[in-house]
Amino acid sequence: DNGSKSSTFVFVSYGDTGANLQLVVDTTLGESNNPAEYPDFPFGSLVPSGHKIELLGILASDVGPAANVTGTYSMTQYLKLMRGREVLFDEDHNGLLYYNPQQDPPGAVNLIGEGYSPGGNFTQCDIKQPLMFDPPLTFLEGEELSVIWHIANDGTTGVVISQALQEVGMILKLSPI
């Protein structure tokens, strides 16, 4: 994979919602943060014609912003993956748990990867390994995958979750059909 004569390509596709999150509960990540030569799938785009994409894993962190205080808060709760109208991995239709319920963070710092989640970003801020799928999920040309953050908040003002904090990476393998 990824060699100069290879027909398959393994890469990480990064995306976010394109805006800060605060009071919106469910928001689709529809903005790709990759260069133009990479497919935008799954962030606002379908699998390219003549190809299939395998979802190998997810790089994502549960987040609680530094500005959270008792009574005024926003935090990640679920990362929902939808294939068509089907919510993957959860018969209750919530999504994967990426919950960071902490308020009043010590030292007023962003809490990244300090909550409950099945995987992480494997960075200096979130040392959890990515969530990997065995076998991978396969998407054929023209199929879509919606990636949606479900945010818990105080219901009145909330706290901003920036684009940088909400970014998700999808570990993908692109192959010709």
The pLDDT score that the predictor gives to residue 4 is 84
pLDDT at 70 over 90: no
Tell me: the pLDDT tens digits for 95-154? 999 999 888 877 788 999 999 999 998 888 888 999 999 999 999 999 999 999 999 988
Which helix (H) or strand (E) segment is 15 a member of? Answer: strand 9-16
Q: Is residue 2 part of a domain?
A: no
Average pLDDT, the chain: 92
Give CA–CA dist 154/145, Å, rounded: 29
CB atoms near residue 37 (< 10 Å): 5
Q: Is residue 10 part of a domain?
A: no
Q: Is residue 75 part of a domain?
A: yes
Q: Is residue 53 part of a domain?
A: yes
Q: Is residue 136 part of a domain?
A: yes
Cis peptide before 135 (omega within 30 of 0): yes
Q: Is residue 5 part of a domain?
A: no
Query: Angle at the Cα of 89 (from 151 to 44), degrees rounded to 5?
Result: 60
Q: Is residue 1 part of a domain?
A: no
* Selected residue with higher pLDDT from 25 and 10: 10
Range of the domain at 94: 15-176
Give CA–CA dist 128/88, Å, rounded: 22
The pLDDT score that the predictor gives to residue 157 is 86
In contact, 29 and 166? CB cutoff 8 Å: yes
Q: Is residue 6 part of a domain?
A: no
Q: Is the pTM of this model over 0.75?
A: yes
**Per the structure, how many domains does the chain have?**
1
